[in-house]
Structures are given as structure tokens and as C-alpha cells.
Chains A and B, each alone.
Chain A
Amino acid sequence: MNNSLYSIISVSTLKGKTIKKEETRIALLISNLFNKLSSGYYKKNSLIAPAPAPATTPVKPVMPAPSIPNVINTAVASNPVVVGQDPIIPAKQVEETKSEKSFTEKTTPIDVIFLKSTRMHANSPAKKLLISRTFIQKLIGHRAKSINENKNNIPAPRMATIPKMVDPKDEAVKKYVDLMKKRKEAIAMKQGYEKEMTSLVNEFGITLDMVNAELAKRGEVA
């Protein structure tokens, strides 16, 4: 049975011929597959443009195209993420990104309380991933350690400033005492002025008529 995609070759045509195994073809096929994956060829939503890379940094491929022996060794060595749906990221790429953390862990007491006290409702299915027991224990262990470290670094709570309660009577007493002081000062000044006036009267023989005349000149009244 033949169709446009393939045609069946009769076994009789191979009789007596030396058949060489083409192992490299498989390697080339898989290598080609990696290339297509990394270029986004099999991306589901090909209409959605990926986020543009920043101008200063070159775009790194999601998956390099290693030869088969390297891929296998890398996957085994890095305590792998076993996936049912997505390809494994080689350990090489982990080294490249280690120096610049692309995430912030949320392990403060506030974050812990948020998770425990918030009612969480999923409105779409979560992304499922199969992970080895060892790997998941590393993740959980790291989080527990981080939470513990943060527990000891709780900043002292800021004291809220409470406005002082003021009794109006107390305020009135304070005001009376202030006025009493000012009155005392005013009396002292008045006594000083009067002493000086008496001195001028005694020295220059100033009379009431002279004072009234001066006041009239100024347009003032005594």
C-alpha cells in the first residue's frame, strides 16, 4: 500500500546487500528536534509574540542543541526535574543565571501568615510538574530555613503616637498663670515709666498745661 508520504520497499530488493546501520540519522533527527524546539517552532500559540529581549543583552536560546551524549549526562548529573510535559533545562544554563537572581523568595512572617490566612481559589488548572522526592525536599528545606532566618529578623514594631488627652481646665489654669506673669511685667514697666516722668517733672518743672498743649499738637487726648 503506498501513499504520498511513503512507499513500501519490498524486502526482496535488499537481499544480498550489505545493510549499514545509520545511527547518526537518529542523532541528527533529535538534534534537529531540539533546534526546532528552541526556535519556537512547536510553540502552541505561535501568534503570540514572545516578550522582546532587552537591547543590551543578547537573546539566549531556551534550549541549546547539545549532542545526545551531553544531554543525557547533564540530565542525570543535575538531580533532574522529571517532566511529563516539558523538556529538561540543562545544568549549564543554571550556572549562567546563578549570579543574577531573577526572583525574590517570599519567606517573611507576613508572607507565611498571608498563605495561611488567605482563602485561595483556583479559577484555572495549575501547571503540573513531576519532581523527584530529593529535589522537592531541597526546595521545601530551603524555604523552611529561609522562614526560620526571617523569624529572627523581625523589625521592632513602630509605636503609634497617641495624641495626649487635654483637659480644658488645665489649659485655663496655664493661661491664667501666663497672663499673671505678663501683668506683673507690665506693672513693672508702668512703674518704671512713672519714675521717669516724675524725674522729668522735678527736673524741668513740667506742668499739666504744657502736657495738654503738647498733646493737642499731636492730636491726642490724655
Chain B
Amino acid sequence: MNKEMINVIDETGTSKQVEVVAYFTLKSNGKNYLIYTENKTDVSGNVETYTSEIVDNNDGTATLLGITDDSAWVEIKKVMLDIAKDGE
């Protein structure tokens, strides 16, 4: 399966190539979220993933924002479970 790789500059200014895990809009708040991974694993073999709100600046750039809304974070995790269930 071809990986969907994109470039992301993190908050320290470091450019990284990451794999897209999911990209969706939450209906409750109309915001877009991007889940991605560098495919790094911890000692237990679990994969580190990162989730950000993505805001299109309409000038060829987008800003990745941290998620501060607890209810949105809960919804995002539900979305991940939903998507995984859909795929079964």
C-alpha cells in the first residue's frame, strides 16, 4: 500500500516527513483535524501519532494548532474508533 507522505514543520521549526493517518472534519465544530505519524514506536511496539487542528490560510500554507478543547479531543478519539470499525 502506497504511503501518503506529507511534509510538516513542527513548532520548533523542524521539517519532518510524516505519514497521514486520517484527515477529517468534525461536524460539531466544523474544524478540520489531521492525524499523522512519523512511524516511531515505543518500547511496547505502539506507534506514536500526532493530532492537530489544521487551518487553511488560503495562501498555499496551513497552520497546525494544538487541541485545547477537551470535548473535541474526546470526539476525535471516537472518530478514530469509528473509522477503524468502518474498515472491518
Contact = CB atoms under 8 A, between A and B. Distances in A.
Nearest to B86: A142
Contact of A105 (B24, B64, B88): B24
Given A81-B80, A105-B83, A141-B87, A111 B60 contact: no
Given A120-B7, A127-B66, A139-B84, A103 B27 contact: yes
Interface in A54-105: 62, 78-79, 81-82, 86, 89, 91, 93-94, 97-98, 101-105
A50 B45 CA distance: 35
B24 A127 contact: no
B20 to A, nearest CB: 6
Interface of B: 1-4, 6-11, 19-28, 32, 34-35, 37, 41-42, 44-52, 54, 56, 60-67, 70-71, 73-88
Interface of A: 43-45, 50-51, 62, 78-79, 81-82, 86, 89, 91, 93-94, 97-98, 101-107, 111-112, 114-133, 135-136, 138-145, 147
21 contacts: A45-B70, A79-B84, A82-B44, A89-B77, A97-B82, A102-B27, A102-B28, A111-B23, A115-B4, A118-B56, A120-B64, A122-B66, A126-B66, A127-B52, A132-B46, A132-B47, A133-B45, A135-B84, A139-B22, A140-B20, A143-B23
